Amino acid sequence: MPATRQLLAEDITLPALARAVGGDHRPFVLSGRWADGVAIAGSAPVRELGDDEDPFAALDDLPAPDGDVVFGGGWVGLLGFALGARLEDLPPSPPVRGATSPAHRLASYDHVLVLDADGRCWLESLGLPGRDDAVAARADVLRARLTAPSAQALWAVGPMEPLAPGGAGHEEAVEAVIERIRAGEIFQANLCLRLAGSFDGSALEAWLALMDAAPAAYGAYLAWDDGAVLSASPELFLRRRGRRVETLPMKGTRPRADHDDESAAAELAAATKDAAENVMIVDLMRNDLGRVCAYGSIEVDPPRVEPHPGVWQLVRRVSGTLRDDVGDADLVRACFPPGSVVGAPKVQALKVIAAEETTARGAHCGAIGFASPHAGLELSVAIRTLEVEGDAIALGVGGGIVADSVPADEYRECLVKAAPILAGLGLASVATGAARRRASPPPLLTTTTARPDPAQGIFETVLVDAGAPVALDAHTARLRRSAMALRGTAPDLHVATEEARALAREGAAAVRIIAVPDDRGGWTVTVMARPAPAPVTAPVGLVPVLLPGGLGEHKWADRSVLRGPYADASWLLCDRGGEVLEAAWANVWLREGDRLVTPPADGRLLPGVRRAAILADPGTGGARAAAEERIDLDRLRAADAVLLSSALRIVPATLSDAIRGTFAARH
């Protein structure tokens, strides 16, 4: 049946449109330049894409266009930055911290609300078979909501600050990327910083406040059961109308003090560094489009400076004509992730990002938008995009690093980009002064091996005492949490716990439970006996090694990255600035007087079961008090004692004297 369009109400505002769908299942709102300047909203989709389904292939799964509508319906949602790993062979990313979003969230809608520039709100439907009565009922419900007074729900957001290791860590990461550029590994890489804070109340109302304060070219609100994204993106990733496709990469930024401020725009237009960044990304996007466009059809427009809330941006249009055999799935696969938030060469820049950033990007730097049989394909670059999960909120900001980048300037640019978003939420901007950095950062070995391979699974090792597993429930609870975080499914551990108890009764000194992901979206669980650990006759030597962002809060079965080169020593994993996280196989404690101190479990380290027991009852660790506090190498050296705790034992440790000379010589 043909798509249909009916007028529901007039004199409708964006808040009224958003509130009409905001309380439903899987609501979305798009405002700004989408579909030539209309606002689109929807809810109650007819299909939701599963976590294990291919989000790129889904973009081609649309009915043939029939009827005269602006949008009608189609797929709407999020493609997270992590999807790049499905397209290229990339190393695992650093751990996810702060509010996070899933790898993708796509839903198919057969009817939507379309708000035109004159304030008229239309209900458009794709006319799918058997859906007439359902759409008619929805029309009555939505008409009533649009014309009834709508109450504004409350919301509150706490201060947002850079996640550890903070601005100083970001500047060190910039330096590391500059070294890679000068060594010839890459020409440019986009490096991101993540801000995080607390959130309470209505995410929709927070987004509406943001759109009122800082209207965005590609504003977007998407929500699902346990999270939402609030986007104020200025950048178009891809737009396809018919067979013609275009992208508008942005590279080059200057603060925009007010609407009359033209001096910064002129400075940006003449800036050599920004022009170089822009040219590299334009070439990258031209190459990406060239993979799917007809030969000779690619065109590049001259650069222009565009005003956006709080900033000026240097923009260029790259366009082409798709080959006849190319659909939206192939187009997005060829170009994802957006080149302007990656670098060049693209695949190597993605590997550098995985190595040097300290948090996974989540939705940030992915894409948001739609695929419609009537409106074509339109995706924004998910920058200036907030992620809400429970009582947490996060914002990613970043910039392109080239050979002549200045680390302090790159950090300030991140905060300049964040400022209008924070202001739109009623927050004071993060101070743009110099980050607090050590005068001489501590020497750290740099890991050259990849992060643990998640495909090898996760595990728990449980101590056995008097024939019974110790804290078995706590271990299995942690295993379930990790499994849910990694795949959205948890293994059934009932049989495993019974096997663990049986092995304990049979005399095992310890029991290991391993969960490995299978090809059906679930887990294969194995239980085995483990011998008692070898006695420790001397303090364990610790070798400080840099692993940006740490290993995260999962106990990975792949231990290859944790095998140091010294038989009598263990890696001491540190973040930038020499911030101590954990040892390769244990949590770290400092004894300072009669109290114990351990690094905070902020997503960068494993929250050990014994660690939790000591924090709850310091006496079990032989101390009067125990606390979580930030620890750097200087503080570790000055401690009265250093201890390592695992499920099986507590042992003394020290910085390794045996390799200190070699360690210093390398730096």
What is the set of active-site residues?
235, 251
CB 28 within 8 Å of CB 42: yes
Residue 264 CA, distance from chain mean position? 31
- Packing angle of the helix pair 166-182, 407-424 (nearest 10 deg): 130
User: Per 3-state DSSP, what percentage of the chain is helix, strand, and coil (rounded to 5)?
Assistant: 30, 30, 40
Query: In what helix (H) or strand (E) does residue 268 lie, and over which residues does it extend?
Result: helix 263-270
Closest among 169, 328, 334, 319 to 249, alpha carbons compared = 319
Burial class (CB in 10 A: 0-12, 13-18, 19+), 477: middle
Neighbours of 375 (CB within 10 A): 25
Q: CA-to-CA distance for 452 and 124, rounded, in angstroms?
A: 48
Q: CA-to-CA distance for 626 and 615, rounded, in angstroms?
A: 5
User: What residues does 76 pair with on adjacent strands?
Assistant: 107, 370
Question: Please, what is the Cα angle at 414 between 408 and 418, to 5 degrees?
Answer: 145
CB 653 within 8 Å of CB 539: yes
Q: CA-to-CA distance for 659 and 594, rounded, in angstroms?
A: 30
Provide the CB-side half-sphere exposure for 94 (13 A, CA).
Answer: 25
Q: CA-to-CA distance for 616 and 626, rounded, in angstroms?
A: 8
User: What residues does 311 pair with on adjacent strands?
Assistant: 255, 308
* 3-state SS assignment for residue 239: strand
Q: CA-to-CA distance for 434 and 437, rounded, in angstroms?
A: 8
> Could you give the C-alpha distances from 297 to 45, 245, 285, 294, 321, in angstroms and in order?
37, 10, 14, 6, 6
Q: 311-315 and 250-255 as β-strands: parallel, antiparallel, unpaired?
A: antiparallel
Furthest CA-CA distance within the chain: 81
Provide the CB-side half-sphere exposure for 310 (13 A, CA).
Answer: 22
- Kindly list the strands in the beta sheet with 304-308, ordered across the sheet, starting from the edge strand earlier in the chain: 250-255, 311-315, 304-308
* 3-state SS assignment for residue 199: strand
Encoded amino acid at 450, one letter: A
Q: CA-to-CA distance for 186 and 344, rounded, in angstroms?
A: 6
- Residues for the chain: how many in total? 667
Q: CA-to-CA distance for 303 and 280, rounded, in angstroms?
A: 13
Closest among 616, 613, 548 to 581, alpha carbons compared = 548
User: What residues does 401 pair with on adjacent strands?
Assistant: 189
